[in-house]
Every structure is written in structure tokens, then in C-alpha cells.
Amino acid sequence: MNLDAQHPLSSGLTANSRLVRAYQGVRPDATPVWFMRQAGRSLPEYRELRVGTDMLDACLDPAMTSEITLQPVRRHGVDAGIFFSDIVVPLKLVGVDVTIVAGKGPVLGTAVRTGTDVAALTALDPAVLDTALAPIADAVARTVAELGSTPLIGFAGAPFTLAAYLVEGGPSKDHIHARTLMHADPEAWAALMAWTADVTGRFLRAQVLAGASAAQLFDSWAGALSLEDYTRYVAPASAAAIAPVQDLGYVDRSRDAAADPVEVRRHVPIVHFGVGTGELLGAMRDIGADVVGVDYRIPLDEANRRLGGTTPLQGNLDPALLNAPWPVLEAEVRTVLERGASAPAHVFNLGHGVPPETDPAVLTRVVELVHELSARTDAHTDPQARASAGERA
């Protein structure tokens, strides 16, 4: 299915952006940079705006969501906005009893621990999201109208992470109840994963159709799994979750000064990120992701080696370094860029989210440093490079 002609990718507004080109495996004029959780707690303007408003209420207020998403783009000069939301928003909209408790995270009214519990949960029809997600689509549309040529990244929680919250009833250190259900009742687990994949897929698709130029599947808890368990019990659902975005495409019309126009049909780039997933990188890529996000526990050059040197990478500065003295932080930024140079393309990011106590001025300074250090005059803008990127798209 082709995206609407007015979509930022179809219209060409974001198709040649640093971020989208890097996600396609082409190195742009400078390494693009954005930060997970760049919108939110570290910004004083965010804290002021959120006074008296519950997190989930904020996520369902299109004007507030859009403003929060735009704040770090204005302040830091990052190369992308990341849609401000929460992975449990679609669960809330489909009818699940869930709240976000300050300092703790998502808490479920009832944990889903048995086959009977799963049957009751999956009786909730994800198709209601096709209308219930209207506030999300509105927020995305408002945001892309303001962003102009800066792309917006849509995101959603991966099926396993959603399932882990549902089974545990809230945050967990080891996700032992989820892993128990996975093995003790494979049929119930499969039904749960199919349902969460449906929910996630609809959430991602709504964001892309409304104007997001890329999508990130965020698997916070996949690092709790062995490679065998991930491949057998989780990967099929993650593949199903991104399928509703994979079929969304556009015609990229690019012109080089010394060549005829080149038209290539591309699909919306998909990033797959997980925490503690160094042993799962290949399996996470193989669900159909174009880009693999790498956390701070594994060097980017090693991640590139494990992925066979063929996959664009995103990451992976340790967020703890943001509060280190500037010379220490600067040295680590240089190291991340050097290691990222081994991959076909690299998007600079953190190895997890921005800590709430981070000084915003430090993030701005990191953005400037990344752009300065990575600026290049031999960016891959020639027809051959673009044709190669089209073959990968």
C-alpha cells in the first residue's frame, strides 16, 4: 500500500533527511542524532507543561502530546522527533485496566497469569483501536506539520514487553511469571503474543499513516530471554507486529545534479531496539527490521560483526556518561562514532533513555559535537549509492 501523496516521505519532505537515509544504509553529510526519551522529564518546559496532568491523559491530549514531542527538537537541534507516548497507551484504549504510577511505571489492575486470564484478555477486540487511536493520529499530524523536513519516528512496545507487563502485573526484574507461562502453557502464551502483536501493529500503523517517517519497535525486556526462547516464542509475534508497517511504501524521487532522476519504491524504515539483547541482535534483525538499535552493553563494532556488517545501527552512548565531566563524555562520544563507522550507516543515540536528571544543555552540546565530528563532504549522494540503497529498501 502506498502512503498518501501528502505524507512527508511521499512528498519528499523527509525522504532525503539524514535520519531516513541513514536508516536506508546510506551515510549522509553528517551522522544523524536523536535520543530515546529526549521528550520528557529532563526538560523544564516539559515539567511545567505536565503539572496536574496524568501521564496517560497527557498521551491522549493531541495538543499536549505534540508540544512535548516538539520541545527537544527545538531545544537540541536533533535530527528527528520521537513521538511522545507510552507503550501501554494502546492497551488502555483497547480496554485494559492500566495506570502509570509515578516512580514505578505501568501497573495493571489484574495480572494475566493463566489460560483463563489470557482468554478473558484476548476477548477484547484490538479492532476498536482503528477508531480509538484517533487522538494519536491527530497528535502525529499536528507534530509533522510543525516539524517540516525533520522526520518523526513512531514507536510501540514489542509484543513480549507488553506481554511481560500484562503477566507480571507491572514492572519486574526477572519477568519470571511471563517466562513461566511461556513454557507452562504454550497455547495460552501464543494467544497472548498474537493479541499483543495485533495491538502493537495497529498502534504503529496509525502513527505512520498519520505522518511518521520511521517506526521503532521497543523491546524493553527481551534481554531476559535466551536466544532459543526468543526465536521460538517471541520473534514470530514481533514479525507480526511490524507487518502492518512493512507494507506501507512510497516512491522516492531523487535527483543528482549530474544524473537523471532516479525513482525507487521504498518502505518505511523499521528500527528494532532491545535492552540487554546483545545475544539476540541477529534474531531481532531477522524479524524484518531495517535497523538494529544497540544498548550500551556491547560496542557498536562488535554488534556490527555479529550482524555480518550489513545492517545500519543505532546507538549506543551509555546514558550514565551524560552526567560525567565533559572531557569524559566527549571522549566517549568520539568512541561511539568511531565504532559506529564500521557499520553501513549509523544513527547516534543513547544505549537507553535520557535520565531525568540530565542537564539539557549537555544534550544540546552532544548533538553539536556529533554533527561536528561526523561532518563529511563525500556523502553518498551519487546515483550508484542511491541505487544500492534502493535495492536494500
Report the catalytic residues: 37, 41, 50, 86, 165
d(CA 156, CA 242): 10
Question: 38 a known binding residue?
Answer: yes
Question: 249 a known binding residue?
Answer: no
- At residue 55's C-alpha, the angle toward residues 292 and 145, to 5°, is 65
C-alpha cell at 80: 528527528
In one-letter notation, the amino acid at residue 73 is V
Question: Residues with Cβ < 8 Å from 20, sequence gap 6 or more?
Answer: 9, 14, 151, 213, 214, 269
Question: 97 a known binding residue?
Answer: no
Question: 240 a known binding residue?
Answer: no
d(CA 291, CA 314): 7
Question: 41 a known binding residue?
Answer: yes
Question: 342 a known binding residue?
Answer: no
Question: Residues with Cβ < 8 Å from 159, sequence gap 6 or more?
Answer: 193, 196, 197, 200, 234, 237, 238, 240, 241
Count of Cβ atoms closer than 10 Å to residue 100 Cβ: 18
DSSP 29-90: SS--B--TT-SSTT-HHHHHHHTT--HHHHHT-HHHHHHHHHHHHHHH--S-EE----TTHH
Question: 86 a known binding residue?
Answer: yes
Residue set of the binding site for substrate = 37-41, 86, 165, 220, 352
